[in-house]
Amino acid sequence: MGVILEVKNLTKKFGGLTAVNDFSFEIKRGEFVGLIGPNGAGKTTVFNLISGFEKPNSGSIRFDGMDITGLKPYQIVNLGLVRTFQLVRSFHYMSVLDNVSVACLSPRGKKASEKVGLDKYASRILSEVGLIDKARFPPVILPHGDLRRLEIGKAAGTNPQILLLDEPFSGLSYEEQEHIHALIRRLSNEGVTIFITGHVLRELMNLVPRVIAMHQGKFITDGSPQEVANHKLVLEAYLGRGGGIA
Amino acid sequence: MPKKIRSKVSNTVSGTKNFFLGIPRATRNLYKEIPHQVKSFKEWIFTFRGSLTILCLIGTILVPLITMDDYIMTILISFLVFSIFAASWDLLAGYTGQVSFGHSVFFGIGAYVAAAFVKMAGLPWFFSMIIGAVAAILVGLIIGIPCLRLKGPYLALGTQAFSLILFNLFMSGELKDILGSTEGISALPAMSEAHIVTFFFILIIMVISFIILTIIVKSNIGTIFKAIRDDETAADASGINTTKYKLIAFMISGFFAGIAGGLFALNSRAVNPSVFLALYSFYAIVMVALGGIATISGSVVGAFIYWVILTELFKPMGALGTIFLYFPTLISALILIIMIRFADQGILKPALEHIREFYDFLLGR
Ligand SMILES: Nc1ncnc2c1ncn2[C@@H]1O[C@H](COP(=O)(O)OP(=O)(O)O)[C@@H](O)[C@H]1O
Ligand SMILES: [Mg+2]
């Protein structure tokens, strides 16, 4: 299995603050990897840099053997690298079905949806994320858990090779978390490479076989959940900030 | 929808982004299921909206057959021309979220180019009109490219600046040799001998324009436009080249505004630099606000209210009528403020709902 995502010496500064500091890692095709760190560690910024929403001060990002540093977000999406947002973003005044259709209308999504037909393809994705009963509703009336699923459904519409999920569990009830768990597992089993962030260790520990930990923009460690959970610096980062480790 | 969901809506909606000029801030109906889109024409005719549209169209066709009064014809033609213009603004602002305050640029270019080709080159009016509209597309590109980075009020100001530049350019007389000086181009040949024929030409062009615009907003491209309007970043993250589609919206909108401008000049048989005035951009905005934003068909209602009902209403009012005639900006601004404050959905949608409720009531449903 080859490397699908290779991040090298990534650095991003916001004024005097170094949000991401000389950060490097690799993800292999088909892997299921978590990125953890307390709030403010720089996880979202890493995602923004990889997906092209922010430009790094230095460092490079290679996806599928291609240098994608500096490409525009939509170009990166159409190569097959897709991200979701920590604060869900939906098209408020369009139906849930149309929300997914937009992604299916991107050049990459179109290629995948053309054979089946747009409506059918988008409906199929909605069934998969469990929103088919609400296809005709505008997203504003959906509960938060549904919006998170829609967020994943929209990403799935572009037919991604690798999916970057930014805190897909935050603010969800235990039950809703279980739904999203199952959904992400299914995507992973279908062969989509998954890179997922979380600031609560417990949420990711049971889900992913490999975890990368970061703190204050810096790489700390990379390994199995057990190794990472017992790492001295990880414990310090969390306990020092009073974050929940249980 | 049960009450429970309704209260949830008010909680959620307060957190969503408010768009400039209330586009589309009409959140009242959001708790409702979005109805399934009618895809075929046959199906559409038998819907409530479809039959109403056909009825209105028949009504419009009948008017000149009943009375050939020049005054009525003039008013109706203004209504038709400006409904195309308003709909073109609605596509750009209501559907794509690109609020332009310089829409008179497209209108003016369409008007000037059409007039110039009829007068100087002696081309038939139809071809001149199309050339004018194509010129408006090019101008849409020229304006669109620098303005695409601007958002919200800044885009409005940026586009407005272009209309000021063009107004001053045409006023300055620099283009005297081809496009006339401050007095513009006049004494154009009439579109046809009989007023009634002109009326039907314009009606046909208007109906075709609305069919095309409606097809566009209901098609996949329309879905992408709406996505850009609702959340540009999310559209980007969905793999949509937002720059490209915003430019396409500018071009389509420019084309139809150019058609409207061309018809305006050809019908009045004259054009002068005042077509670039902010007033004309304002007309489009007010008519869309009256009819209902992001509806396309609302533009017809808005144009009808503005050019037919209000004109007739103010005419016998003495001093007030004079104000309406000589200070249209003042009246337009008042209407706009009232609409944004009290009826951000415009008139069409709520009215249709009430008519439909009444209809259901009559049928005992
Ligand atoms: N656009 C920005 N401008 C300034 N500072 C930012 C910006 N984005 C993030 N930061 C800062 O960078 C740090 C990392 O933030 P973030 O990546 O959101 O962390 P996480 O997602 O791990 O909670 C925080 O201190 C945050 O305040
Ligand atoms: Mg974050």
Structure tokens at B311: 């004109």
- The residue with greater pLDDT, B68 or A1, is B68
Q: Does B31 contact A at CB distance below 8 Å?
A: yes
Tell me what the pLDDT averaged over chain A comes to: 91
For residue B207, the model assigns a pLDDT of 95
Taking CA–CA distances from B30, the nearest residue in chain A reads A138
Q: Tell me which of A142, A158, A174 is where a domain ends.
A: A158
Q: Is B9 left (phi over 0), alpha (psi -120 to 50) or beta?
A: alpha
DSSP state of B310: I
Looking at the domain assignment, is residue A203 inside a domain? Answer: yes
Number of A:B CB contacts under 8 A? Answer: 109
Looking at the domain assignment, is residue A85 inside a domain? Answer: no
- Is residue A75 located within the same domain as residue A196? yes
- Is residue A76 located within the same domain as residue A96? no
Q: Is the pLDDT of residue B347 over 70?
A: yes
For residue B15, the model assigns a pLDDT of 37
Distance CA(B115)–CA(B132), nearest Å, equals 8
For residue B176, the model assigns a pLDDT of 67
Question: Is the dihedral angle over the CA atoms B238, B244, B250, B251 positive or is it negative?
Answer: negative
Mean pLDDT lowest among A37-41, A77-81, B243-247, B318-322: B318-322
Distance CA(A33)–CA(A212), nearest Å, equals 7
Task: List CB contacts (< 8 A) between A107 and chain B.
Answer: 239
Question: Considering every ligand atom, which ligand is closest to the CA of A241?
Answer: 1
Taking CA–CA distances from B12, the nearest residue in chain A reads A140
Q: Over the stretch A71-96, which tens digit does the pLDDT of each residue have?
A: 999 999 999 999 999 999 999 889 99
Q: Sorting pLDDT into bands at 50, 70 and 90, what band is A241?
A: low
For residue A199, the model assigns a pLDDT of 82
For residue B177, the model assigns a pLDDT of 66
Mean pLDDT of B314-320: 74
Q: Over the stretch B292-301, which tens digit does the pLDDT of each residue have?
A: 888 898 899 9
Q: Tell me which of A122, A141, A158 is where a domain ends.
A: A158
To test the pocket of ligand 1, the residue of A45, A83, A234 to mutate (highest count of ligand atoms within 8 Å of its CB) is: A45
Best of A51, A89, A147 to disrupt the B interface (most B CBs within 10 Å) is: A89
Cβ neighbourhood burial of B350 (10 Å; 0-12, 13-18, 19+): middle
Contact between residue A222 and residue A25 where contact means Cβ atoms under 8 Å apart: yes
Task: List CB contacts (< 8 A) between A143 and chain B.
Answer: 8
CATH number at residue A211: 3.40.50.300
Mean pLDDT of B262-291: 91
Contact between residue A17 and residue A4 where contact means Cβ atoms under 8 Å apart: no
Q: Is the pLDDT of residue B51 over 70?
A: yes
Tell me what the pLDDT averaged over chain B comes to: 83
- Hey, which residues 249-308 in chain B have their CB within 8 Å of chain A? 294
The answer to whether A138 contacts B30, with C-beta atoms less than 8 Å apart, is yes
Q: Over the stretch B68-79, which tens digit does the pLDDT of each residue have?
A: 788 888 889 999
Helix extents (H) in B180-269: 195-218, 220-230, 232-237, 242-268
For residue B35, the model assigns a pLDDT of 66
| CA nearest neighbour of A88 among B122, B233, B214, B27 | B233
Instruction: Calculate what percentage of chain B has a pLDDT beyond 70.
Output: 86
For residue A245, the model assigns a pLDDT of 44
For residue A50, report the distance from its CA to the centre of ligand 2, in Å.
Answer: 14
Taking CA–CA distances from B25, the nearest residue in chain A reads A93
For residue B356, the model assigns a pLDDT of 73
Contact between residue A220 and residue A214 where contact means Cβ atoms under 8 Å apart: yes
**For the ranges B157-171, B244-258, B333-347, the one whose mean pLDDT is highest:** B244-258
Q: Is the pLDDT of residue A162 over 90?
A: yes
Taking CA–CA distances from A74, the nearest residue in chain B reads B239
For residue B147, report the distance from its CA to the centre of ligand 1, in Å.
Answer: 29
Q: Sorting pLDDT into bands at 50, 70 and 90, what band is A127?
A: very high
Mean pLDDT of A232-241: 78
Q: Sorting pLDDT into bands at 50, 70 and 90, what band is B32?
A: low
Facing B237 at nearest CB: one of A73, A92, A109? A73
Shortest-distance atom of ligand 1 to CA A54: 1
DSSP state of B273: G
Distance CA(B117)–CA(B115), nearest Å, equals 6
Estimate to the nearest angstrom the gap between the alpha carbon of B61 and the chain centroid.
Answer: 21
Contact between residue A32 and residue A229 where contact means Cβ atoms under 8 Å apart: no
Q: Is A117 left (phi over 0), alpha (psi -120 to 50) or beta?
A: left
- Is residue A49 located within the same domain as residue A141? no
Q: Over the stretch B190-210, which tens digit does the pLDDT of each residue have?
A: 888 888 899 999 999 999 999
Task: List CB contacts (< 8 A) between B24 and chain A.
Answer: 93
Please confirm whether the linkage preceding B24 is cis (ω < 30° from 0): yes
Distance CA(A193)–CA(A32), nearest Å, equals 6
Task: List CB contacts (< 8 A) between B233 and chain A.
Answer: 53, 89
- Is residue A62 located within the same domain as residue A114? no
The answer to whether A106 contacts B238, with C-beta atoms less than 8 Å apart, is yes
Q: Does B237 contact A at CB distance below 8 Å?
A: yes
Distance CA(A96)–CA(A131), nearest Å, equals 8
Residue A183 domain boundaries: 1-80+161-246
pTM of this structure = 0.90
Contact between residue B125 and residue B265 where contact means Cβ atoms under 8 Å apart: no
Mean pLDDT of B33-53: 75
Task: List CB contacts (< 8 A) between A137 and chain B.
Answer: 33-34
Distances in Å between the Cα of B75 and the Cα atoms of B72, B214, B273, B298, B307 are: 5, 25, 22, 19, 7
Q: Tell me which of A132, A158, A184 is where a domain ends.
A: A158
Q: Sorting pLDDT into bands at 50, 70 and 90, what band is B17?
A: very low
Q: Does B19 contact A at CB distance below 8 Å?
A: no
Structure tokens at B225: 């436009």
- Is residue A110 located within the same domain as residue A183? no
Looking at the domain assignment, is residue A213 inside a domain? Answer: yes
Question: Considering every ligand atom, which ligand is closest to the CA of A36?
Answer: 1
- Is residue A127 located within the same domain as residue A168? no
| CA nearest neighbour of B95 among B360, B293, B347, B268 | B293
Question: Considering every ligand atom, which ligand is closest to the CA of A166?
Answer: 2
- Is residue A148 located within the same domain as residue A186? no
Residues framing ligand 1 (Cβ under 6 A): A 14, 17, 19, 37, 39-45
Measure in Å the smallest separation between the Cα of B341 and chain A Cα atoms: 20
- Is residue A31 located within the same domain as residue A124? no
Looking at the domain assignment, is residue A109 inside a domain? Answer: yes
**Is ipTM over 0.90?**
yes
The answer to whether A141 contacts B237, with C-beta atoms less than 8 Å apart, is no
Q: Is the pLDDT of residue B30 over 70?
A: no
Spell out the domain ranges in chain B.
20-278
Looking at the domain assignment, is residue A68 inside a domain? Answer: yes
Contact between residue A68 and residue A19 where contact means Cβ atoms under 8 Å apart: no
Distance CA(B260)–CA(B278), nearest Å, equals 16
Q: Over the stretch A13-51, which tens digit does the pLDDT of each residue have?
A: 999 999 999 999 999 999 999 999 999 999 999 999 999
Backbone angles phi, psi at A163, to 5 degrees: -115, 125
Count structural domains, chain A.
2
Q: Sorting pLDDT into bands at 50, 70 and 90, what band is B352?
A: confident
Q: Does A91 contact B at CB distance below 8 Å?
A: yes
Facing B239 at nearest CB: one of A95, A109, A138? A109
To test the pocket of ligand 1, the residue of A36, A43, A44 to mutate (highest count of ligand atoms within 8 Å of its CB) is: A44
Q: Sorting pLDDT into bands at 50, 70 and 90, what band is B340?
A: confident
Q: Is the pLDDT of residue B173 over 90?
A: no
Q: Over the stretch A173-231, which tens digit does the pLDDT of each residue have?
A: 888 999 999 999 999 999 999 999 988 877 788 889 999 999 999 999 999 998 888 88
Q: Is the pLDDT of residue B153 over 90?
A: no
